[in-house]
């Protein structure tokens, strides 16, 4: 599991807090969505888990161990990270992009190539067609799939995803969400999915943590949040899309 206990992060000596005393638990095999608008602390929370950003205070446990007590490189090897904006290396073909974490670990070339081909197939990019292509030669949605494959290269226990589908069109995003659900069912990874899109959170997550101004307003299943919003902010956040959907339904019925 991932357990966050009263964790905070300030970048200005305590005058303001990007993350302000949050606590949550991500259960084994669960996908938890961090949902909120830009600047609410979602990405900072994600980065604290694999120590791209060090917590100012509080405790973060991965597999029951305090992340600050061990080696950050070993920690990151147990966590796959899908960056916002994908972050593929433009000078490497897709197979080499996928295999990059294995190369950094010193895995020999032959098993690296085999693993890259396996993962490209897993994300529905047949390696005979796509392994030798470069990022500029494929679509944004296909690049996103490569980013997911790269995060899975070392068979990590955990998967952190920061707005992984934010740069693609709505139809491609919907298709990628469904592919992620299929992968989730097959691989049973414990993961955190950062998004500002309510419908995306409702689609991909087992539970949702609604964040606002560095704090968690509510944590629960979609049914719990929709039926019993814990604050006016949560009620308004989820109420507006519901009203928009009802208005569209009324107009088209």
Q: What is the value of pTM for the model shown?
A: 0.86
Superfamily of domain 1-78+159-169+190-253 in the CATH hierarchy: P-loop containing nucleotide triphosphate hydrolases (3.40.50.300)
CA 128 remoteness from chain centre: 28
Residue 247 in this model has a pLDDT that exceeds 70: no
DSSP state of 61: E
Q: What is the pLDDT averaged over residues 202-228?
A: 93
Residue 38 in this model has a pLDDT that exceeds 90: no
Q: What is the pLDDT of residues 81-137, one digit of tens each?
A: 888 766 789 999 999 999 998 998 889 999 999 999 999 998 889 999 999 999 999
Residue 248 confidence (pLDDT) = 47
List the strands of the sheet with 57-62, edge to edge: 19-26, 2-9, 57-62, 65-66
Instruction: Give, in degrees to the nearest 5, the angle at Cα 71 between 67 and 72.
Output: 70
pLDDT-derived band of residue 253, with 50, 70 and 90 as boundaries? low
CA-based nearest residue to 117, from 91, 92, 146, 142:
146
Pairing of strands 57-62, 65-66: antiparallel
Rounded to whole angstroms, how far apart are CA atoms 1 and 64?
7
Q: Which residues of 69-90 are buried (b: 16+ CB within 10 A; e: fewer)?
A: eeeeeebbbebbbbbbebebee
Rounded to whole angstroms, how far apart are CA atoms 105 and 97?
14
Residue 188 confidence (pLDDT) = 86
Phi, psi of 6 (to 5 degrees): 50, 45
pLDDT-derived band of residue 182, with 50, 70 and 90 as boundaries? confident
Q: What is the pLDDT of residues 57-91, one digit of tens each?
A: 999 999 999 999 988 888 888 898 888 766 789 99
Rounded to whole angstroms, how far apart are CA atoms 184 and 49?
20
pLDDT-derived band of residue 229, with 50, 70 and 90 as boundaries? very high
- Among 21-30, 32-41, 77-86, 145-154, which is the least confidently predicted range? 77-86
């Amino acid at each position: 599991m991932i357990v966050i206990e009263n964790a905070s992060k300030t970048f200005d000596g305590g005058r303001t807090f990007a993350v302000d005393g949050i606590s949550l638990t991500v259960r084994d095999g669960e996908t938890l969505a961090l949902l909120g608008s830009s600047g609410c602390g979602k990405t900072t929370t994600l980065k604290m888990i694999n120590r791209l950003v060090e917590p100012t205070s509080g405790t973060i446990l991965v597999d029951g161990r305090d992340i600050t007590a061990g080696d950050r490189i070993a920690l990151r090897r147990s966590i796959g990270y899908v960056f916002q904006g994908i972050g593929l290396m433009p000078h490497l073909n897709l197979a080499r992009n996928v295999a990059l974490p294995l190369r950094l670990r010193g895995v020999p070339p032959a098993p690296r190539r085999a693993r890259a081909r396996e993962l490209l197939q897993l994300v529905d990019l047949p390696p005979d067609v796509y392994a030798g292509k470069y990022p500029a030669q494929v679509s944004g949605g296909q690049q996103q799939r490569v980013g997911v494959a790269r995060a899975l290269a070392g068979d990590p226990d955990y998967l952190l995803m920061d707005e992984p589908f934010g740069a693609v069109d709505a139809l491609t995003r919907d298709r990628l969400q469904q592919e992620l659900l299929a992968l989730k069912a097959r691989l049973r990874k414990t993961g955190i999915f950062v998004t500002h899109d309510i419908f995306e959170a409702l689609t991909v997550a087992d539970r949702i943590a609604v964040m606002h101004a560095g704090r968690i307003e509510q944590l629960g299943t979609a049914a719990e949040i929709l039926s019993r919003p814990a604050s006016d902010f949560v009620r308004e956040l989820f109420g507006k899309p519901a009203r928009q959907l009802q208005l569209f339904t009324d107009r088209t019925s």
